[in-house]
Amino acid sequence: MSTRQAQPGSSLRGESRQRRRALALLAVATAIGSTGLAAGGTAGALLAVDITKAPAMAGVPLGLLVLGSAAGAPLLARQAAIGRRVRGLALGYALGVAGAVLVVLAAQWQSLALLLAGSFVLGVANSAVFMSRYAAMDTATTGNRGRAIGVVFAATALGAVVSPTLLGPSGSVARALGLPPLAGLYLAAVLAFGLAAVLLATRSRALGPRPEPGPGVVAVLADTVRRREAVTAVGVLAATNFVMVGVMTIAPVHLTEHGHSLDQVGVVVALHVIGMFAVAPLTGLLADRKGPAAVARLGGVLLTVAMVIGLFVGHSGTLVMTVHLLVLGVGWNCGVVGGSTLLGAAVPAGTRPHVEGIAEVMMGLAAAAAGPISGLVADFGGYLVFCVIGTPAAVFLFLRRIPS
């Protein structure tokens, strides 16, 4: 008689294939879902000004959106903690569909209340897009976390770059349907979030086993504050998001006020989004090889450079503004990839979902503060004043304290 024994090499290869398939499926869903990102980030500011005729209101929908993202993060983190991370992402996208529908109605009826309510609910889908990076880390080995995040962020770039360029074409579709042009991106968001939700909900079993349940939130908080690397990682993520959201709240309004068409604004924002996501495979590889601290420090430097370039925007053409937003996007990418990878290495697997939720809440609160503040500052002092008091140097000084 002869017996066959399982070969360790074959088992490892099978596990590796399973990880790659799970990551690929997650990347496809993220690419689809991220096509809805520009609805809240670009059209929301323009729609608020259109409804209220007050430029100071530009940051309010984005502020509500990031508050919704912050509110959705614990919900998605809770789903991850009980072994339903992927179903939690699907739920986030489904809520995004509901939020986008509310904003379409707000545009049709010129209702500020509906715009704000829809923006808040829409934020949960944004949380699903960005928390996909943590699901990506679940598919990776310890030394490949940065690259796994890079794959998902690169997939995000595919949808997010296309999204703002739809501002003009989707406006034409909305007009043909008897809706205001600025409702067009929200129609695109309904489709994108809906498809992503269906894909994740129906294929969640293919994205890996259920994790072991961890301790409660209180125990996680007590453990996290004792870990310097974890606290620093959360601070990096919050500071990075504060700077980026503050600028992007008022950038589309600044461009339109200086005579740029919706198509031109869409292209400039698309280039910014390329900086945010397309470089992620490179920054992820750098985080794995040189350490996440080095990548986060680089993000602090680039955010400072972006704000300095913003001092020269003024009434110039689109070139300076494009470079300004492109560098801003790359700086954000370095901060988020570096901070997320640092967070993944700083806490044990059993408590990681809760800590990820805490980090997302802090990112959301930082962005929620940045949006309205930047809108008010720009309204009273202009874009130049906003860049001057943005204190990017202070952010950089904080980031350079990251432990190696």
Residue 257, domain CATH? 1.20.1250.20
d(CA 359, CA 49): 31
Minimum mean pLDDT among 95-99, 145-149, 283-287, 362-366: which range? Answer: 362-366
State the residue range of the domain holding 244: 17-208+218-399
Residue 6, in any domain of the structure: no
Residue 11, in any domain of the structure: no
252 has a pLDDT exceeding 90: no
How close are the terminal C-alpha atoms of the chain, in Å?
57
Residue 231, in any domain of the structure: yes
**Residue pair 65/126 in contact by the 8 Å Cβ criterion:** yes
315 has a pLDDT exceeding 80: no
73 has a pLDDT exceeding 50: yes
201 has a pLDDT exceeding 80: yes
d(CA 326, CA 321): 8
Residue 10, in any domain of the structure: no
What was the pLDDT predicted at 392?
A: 60
d(CA 307, CA 386): 9
One-character DSSP codes across 166-182: THHHHHHHHHHTTS-GG
Q: What is the pLDDT of residues 129-140, one digit of tens each?
A: 989 988 888 887
Q: Number of folded domains in the chain?
A: 1
Q: What is the dihedral of CA 334, 335, 339, 340, to 10 degrees?
A: -60
Integer CA distances (angstroms), 216 to 82, 108, 291, 340, 385, in order: 11, 44, 30, 21, 45
Handedness of CA 334, 45, 95, 161 (dihedral sign): negative
Provide the pLDDT confidence category of residue 248 given band limits of 50, 70 and 90.
confident
What was the pLDDT predicted at 83?
A: 74
Residue 331, in any domain of the structure: yes
d(CA 340, CA 322): 27
User: Average of pLDDT values for 311-330?
Assistant: 80
One-character DSSP codes across 146-170: HHHHHHHHHHHHHHHHHHHHTHHHH
What was the pLDDT predicted at 198?
A: 93
Residue 103, in any domain of the structure: yes
Residue 12, in any domain of the structure: no
Most confident of 305-319, 331-345, 362-376: 331-345
Residue 229, in any domain of the structure: yes
- Name which residue leads in pLDDT, 254 or 272: 272
What was the pLDDT predicted at 3?
A: 47
Judge if pTM exceeds 0.85. no
Q: Which residues contact 64 (CB under 8 A, 6 or more apart)?
A: 116, 117, 119, 120, 123, 368
Half-sphere exposure of 158 toward its Cβ, with a 13 Å CA cutoff?
13
